[in-house]
Amino acid sequence: MFFIESERLKMIPLTHELLQLMHTDRQAMELKLGLNASLQQIDELYVKEIEDAMVNFWLPKTLEHPESYKWYTNWEIILKSTNTSIGGMGFAGEPNEHWEAETGYMIDQQHQNKGYATEALQLLIKWAFTHDAVMAIVVHTYEDNLPSRKILAKCNFKEVGKDAAGLMAYRQEKTPGSKKNLTK
């Protein structure tokens, strides 16, 4: 099984099969991954966003793109010390025509303010920048989401715009000399 890891975290991109299992029975999915059961506390807004992503993006796109599923799925964020899932992160598809990959994230309320989102985002950025097709990572967050904006600042994202609804755009460019490979 493919995964990436840092000192405290392991991130596993979920295959179509694992997403199906997560959709019907999260604990069964965690068991299949060899994880301890997590009793995640997730803000109602994110519960709705996750369900929407599951039904309208992750499941259909991982089925449609099995070879490049890592760009279309949820990456489970696992706290290695407890072997439990503490959140999720992922991309909004393969890099676009501007060589950008968009990402988003959610951390269990019980594990916020401990640096895990920052560490996970840095880990995922490092993985994405190993691909020649990625020259920048883009994140959108609401203006009033100060914790997310702090995470983006810690990860060296620069604010590049804001729309009328208060959704802010942030961007991080690949630095010269970043490791590359030819896979997508």
Closest CA to 95 of 18, 3, 158, 183: 183
CB 106 within 8 A of CB 50: yes
Query: Hey, what are 24's tokens?
Result: 């019907």
Q: What is the band of 178 on the pLDDT scale with cuts at 50, 70, 90?
A: low
How many CB atoms sit inside 10 A of residue 169's CB? Answer: 16
Q: Is the pLDDT of residue 151 over 90?
A: yes
Read off the DSSP letter of residue 131.
Answer: B
Query: Hey, what are 68's tokens?
Result: 């490049």
Q: Which residues on adjacent β-strands are paired with residue 168?
A: 141, 162
- Domains of the chain by start residue, with CATH: 4-173 (3.40.630.30)
Residue for token digits 């992922």? 90
Q: Is the pLDDT of residue 181 over 70?
A: no
User: For residues 100 and 129, what is the distance between their CA atoms, to the nearest angstrom?
Assistant: 10
Q: Is the pLDDT of residue 182 over 50?
A: no
Tens of pLDDT, residues 70-129? 999 999 999 999 999 999 999 999 999 999 999 999 999 999 999 999 999 999 999 999
CB 132 within 8 A of CB 182: yes
Helix (H, G, I), strand (E, B) or coil at 180: coil
pTM for the predicted model, two decimal places = 0.91
Q: What is the band of 35 on the pLDDT scale with cuts at 50, 70, 90?
A: very high
**What is the pLDDT at residue 175?**
85
By mean pLDDT, which of 14-23, 40-49, 132-141 is the weakest?
40-49
Q: What's the average model confidence in pLDDT over 37-42?
A: 90
By mean pLDDT, which of 6-15, 19-28, 159-168 is the weakest?
159-168
Phi-psi category of residue 6: left, alpha or beta, with phi > 0 → left and psi -120 to 50 → alpha: beta
